[in-house]
Amino acid sequence: MSIHQNLLGGPEPTHLRENDEAARLLGAESKTPAEVAAAYPTYSLAWALLAEEAFEGGRVVESYAYARTGYHRGLDALRRAGWKGHGPIPWEHEANRGFLRCLAALAAAAGAIEETEEAERCRQFLKDSSETAYAELMR
């Protein structure tokens, strides 16, 4: 018997692949999120950082665009990792955080432009994907 058995019968958690080079550029190389997004457009964390920065700067439409880009690039990566449109996307797995942060940023930006249904859909998607991410990001 496996100690990692899913007792609820739902899909297994999805873990995105790490992108060590993009992470290194953001960290050790101190490249900007825009530089990293340009070099690695599939790296959702760079888009999340751009979206968060734009939102904090009052550039809500720009934030929405960045978050939507990272969200869609993240969905593509999730599908490549075997995700079937539902199931856990754990916050605890570092590589998942970019997508989850884009989802939270998209919820915030959609709410700010009064796209209420989209904001609620994104909040619920975040909560369904990772309760931990929801608690961390939707403060």
Averaged pLDDT, groups of 10, the chain, 139 residues long = 54 96 96 98 98 98 98 98 96 98 98 98 98 95
Which two three-digit tokens encode residue 28? Answer: 């050790």
Task: Provide the 8-state DSSP code for 113.
Answer: T
Angle between helices 60-80 and 97-112 (to 10 degrees): 140
Which two three-digit tokens encode residue 64? Answer: 């929405």
Q: Whole-model pTM?
A: 0.92
Task: Provide the 8-state DSSP code for 137.
Answer: H
Q: By the 8 A CB rule, do 88 and 130 touch?
A: yes
**Longest CA span, the chain:** 53
